A and B are shown apart, each in its own frame.
Chain A
Amino acid sequence: MADAQREDAAETDTPNANDAQEKTSNSTMVEDSSTTLLKRMEITVAEAEKRTGKKAVNMQETYTVYLIETRPSSAVNEGQSVAPDALWRRYSEFELLRNYLLVTYPFIVVPPLPEKRAEFVWHKLSADNMDPDFVERRRVGLETFLLRVASHPVMSNDKIFYHFLMQERGWKEVVYDTGFQAKADSRLRALNATFRVKNPDKRFMEMKHYSDELQAITSQLLRARARVADRLYGVYKVHGNYGRVFSEWSAIEKEMGDGLQSAGHHMDAYAASIDDILEEEEHYADQIKEYLFFAEALRAVCRKHELSQYELETASLDLTSKKLQREELATGIVRTFSFKGMTTKLFGQETADQREARLKLLEEQIDEGEETVREKTAECEEHVHSGWEDMQRFKEQKDRDLREAFINYAYMQMSMCKKGIQMWSNAKECFSKM
């Protein structure tokens, strides 16, 4: 199934790749390419394995590593059986990669990782990170993450990302060398701060509002779904008791015995069928979950805009105020309150030299300020442009993905109904023979 997908991928074009090239002045680009990494390379997270290792304080820990395999697409297409390049990574390394991407590309809605801890569990699902089902679903989620990054017009060309896929040792050092960690901290602080922006881009504000709604609604949906799954599990499983009792009952009956016995088997089958049904539904839940986390990433892009805009506004205000001070100094007309002005009034006029010095300082500050404003304006504009573009791309992707998810959900329900019909029809036949 997956292979067929990737072959389809070789045919289609990525429309945004070219645009992204021109706009991004990112020095971490690997090479000029008109296609994303995914076109040239097949990526899978093939396996998961448990490891035990020593932590820094000489304590043992058990963790899971995931095998990333890569193969050039050309080889796959030509049907050559090429041994893949492979390396092992653990979840924390994926987190590191994602943090790097978040800081480096603040205008991109960065795909989320699968959840760190199992949330929205219903009673059968283990909340334990070492549980094999959890690990398997995480493996799938990590693969999705890599594929999404590799197919992004901008991110797919990132050097650090490439190294993540290709170079097991020393990758961490390379990442830290980029110095992104420092930016990461300030970014976090900025995102969490409250500040008032006077003229944010309306579209970004709407998008932020939407991301809040999306986060709230998907969260509610997932919680409700988990509870429904829990109840449905109960309903099906109780029917298993019918199987047991029918079997016992058939032992004391003559004419009814056969009918009861076979009906009992169908009850057992019915009770068992819920396991597969709910496992399939977990995939659906994972798809919704991805977009719950995507909502956060979307919000981050909007917040970054607010931050840029705020910094620009602050810089502009500061520049205006400095210019006004200069004007006052030059003309002697005091329009604004200033401490200097007050002390002057109280302690007398300053000398011409003093004024000269102050004026010079102001001029320097104004020059700096204008430079800052220019930078900030450019930064803001660029972020608005690239960010809006990526948000559009994200919106289309979301609509496609979720539409498919809902359709598949409907098919899952239908399949469940078909199974139910079959089982109860069989049971009915057995009962009729009672």
Chain B
Amino acid sequence: MSGNVADSAVSPTTPAQTIPADLSGQMLELDEDDDLEVFSKDTTNTDGGSFNASMQTSPGSMINQYKFDEEEEEEDPGAKDLFITVDNPESHITTIETFITYRVVTKTTRSEFDSSEYEVRRRYQDFLWLRGRLEEAHPTLIVHPLPEKFVMKGMVERFNDDFIETRRRALHHFLNRIAEHPILSCNEDLKVFLSAQAWELASHKKQGPGFLSRMGETVRAVAASVRGVKNRPEEFNSIQEYVESFSQKMTSLDRITQRIVKEEREYLEEMKEYAPTYTLWSGSEEELAEPLKGVANCLDRCFQETEGQVRQLSDCLAPTLHEYVLSTDTLKAVLRRRDNMQAELEAKNEALAAKRADRDALKEEIDKLEDRVEWANNALKGDWSRWQRSMRSDLKDAFVSTAQKNVDYYEKVRVTHLKPPQPHHTFDTRLVSITL
């Protein structure tokens, strides 16, 4: 998949604006509202009010944002200017409910922020809201998934420590992926999410696109999906195929990992019964007491290390795999929305050809739609590239660290066994006493 969108021909249809070509490091918004407002960026303006929830820039200026070559492995770490951490889960108990909040710490050099450091507390619902807003604002961009609301399988309850930690990690990962995204990281709702106090966030949440515009969007989407797209570009077909396959593989891997965790937990249960038999036995013996205690000791160590191994799988590998299972849902949705846009365009073109409606008005609509589709396609291609890179990096890290953890595990267990003296013979030990 080529991430180089500079090759695509784009014709800006909006009036001239003073937006510079290179927009990295500057905060800009894109909104799918049809009224294309132009935003003029004045870097001296530090007033937070200069941001508007419905800002837009033309496709032409966005091209440069997607100048990724296939060789470019990672973004220049030096260019990163938004650092977010999610930690310190805390329980809050009210008369109505109990919930967990997480501390979100932001450090940034971006001028759009009033301050360079923020510390707020957010709950899961807030993250859900944020993601919803991001998806609404950028329906054809790939927004990283959030951990699920509930986990059905296993004995996980909402306030179980492991569950909270797993969720915290996923939330941290989510915000970091957003922060790395050149467009999403400039989103106004994100800024509010990161910087506003609890009451400010609550009031901000109440605003949002009107009911009618949301309705219009939904109706269009339904109509489009019924229509179906006729000429989907080949590259999106291959992405679609890939996503189908990938989704299956991730689901399998997730299931396999969960199964390993289950088996290891059962192994631990049995070890709990097994190791003490040696200690018990040593109480009845004299000469054999020492070697028996030695074996018991080794088995205990093995038990402890296995617990660590299980934690690695369930805290690190499984959640990562699960994230990518969820992200395939996002990918499918994004592809669908893109298809819908294209379907709408095709329908309008057909209507034009059939001379069924007012040509001029239709022509104008079609032009706008073409731009939108063009932009969406390019944006998606770019995001697809970035998604692939993230996926590769995330999964590689997860598997490498799992493998390393296993190596460490076997190392630690091996060392505890190193103490016993050399046996006289390796295998036919029964003959030792028989022949003496």
A residues adjacent to B (C-beta < 8 A): 1-2, 5-6, 8-9, 12, 38, 144, 147-148, 151, 210, 213-214, 217-218, 220-221, 224-225, 227-228, 230-232, 234-235, 238-239, 241-242, 245, 248-249, 252, 255-256, 259, 263, 283, 287, 290, 396-411, 413-414, 417-418, 420-421, 424-425, 427-428, 431-432, 434
Contacts and interface: CB of A to CB of B under 8 A. Distances in A.
A15 B252 CA distance: 65
Contacts of B284: 210, 213-214, 217
Interface residues of B, number: 65
Given A235-B260, A424-B403, A252 B436 contact: no
Contacts of A408: 423, 426-427, 429
B359 interface: no
Contacts of A214: 284
A404 B435 CA distance: 14
A409 B267 contact: no
Given A5-B428, A402-B288, A228 B420 contact: no
Nearest to A229: B270
A409 B427 CA distance: 10
B259 interface: yes
Nearest to A418: B414
Contacts of B425: 1, 5, 404
Given A242-B253, A414-B417, A404 B263 contact: no
Interface in B393-436: 395-396, 399-400, 403-404, 406-407, 409-411, 413-414, 417-418, 420-436
A400 B273 CA distance: 26
Interface string B367-398: 00000000000000000000000001001100
B40 interface: no
Given A413-B413, A434-B392, A151 B435 contact: yes
A231 B267 contact: yes
B89 interface: no
Query: Mostly helix, strand, loop or mixed at chain A's interface?
Result: helix
Contact of A1 (B399, B403, B414, B428): B428
9 contacts: A5-B435, A144-B430, A252-B246, A407-B420, A413-B302, A421-B410, A427-B403, A428-B403, A428-B407
B274 A407 contact: no
Nearest to A15: B436
B379 to A, nearest CB: 22
B429 A232 contact: no
B436 A401 contact: no
Question: Which of A8, A148, A252, A398 has the most chain B CB atoms closer than 10 A to its own CB?
Answer: A252
Given A400-B436, A428-B404, A245 B252 contact: yes
A227 B413 contact: no
A401 B429 contact: yes
Nearest to A218: B281
Interface string B240-270: 0010011001001100100110011011011
Nearest to A433: B396
Nearest to A5: B431
Given A220-B280, A431-B399, 7 more contacts: A1-B426, A235-B260, A245-B252, A259-B396, A410-B298, A411-B423, A413-B417
Contacts of A242: 253, 256
Given A252-B242, A410-B417, A245 B253 contact: yes
Given A414-B417, A434-B396, A404 B423 contact: yes
A228 B274 CA distance: 7
A68 to B, nearest CB: 16
B25 interface: no
A1 B270 contact: no
B407 A221 contact: no
B420 A406 contact: yes
A231 B429 contact: no
A239 B260 contact: yes
A221 B406 contact: no
B277 interface: yes
B51 interface: no
Contacts of B392: 255-256, 434
B271 interface: yes
Contacts of A239: 260
Contacts of B298: 410, 413
Interface in B56-82: none
Interface string B276-318: 0110110011011001101100100010000000000000000
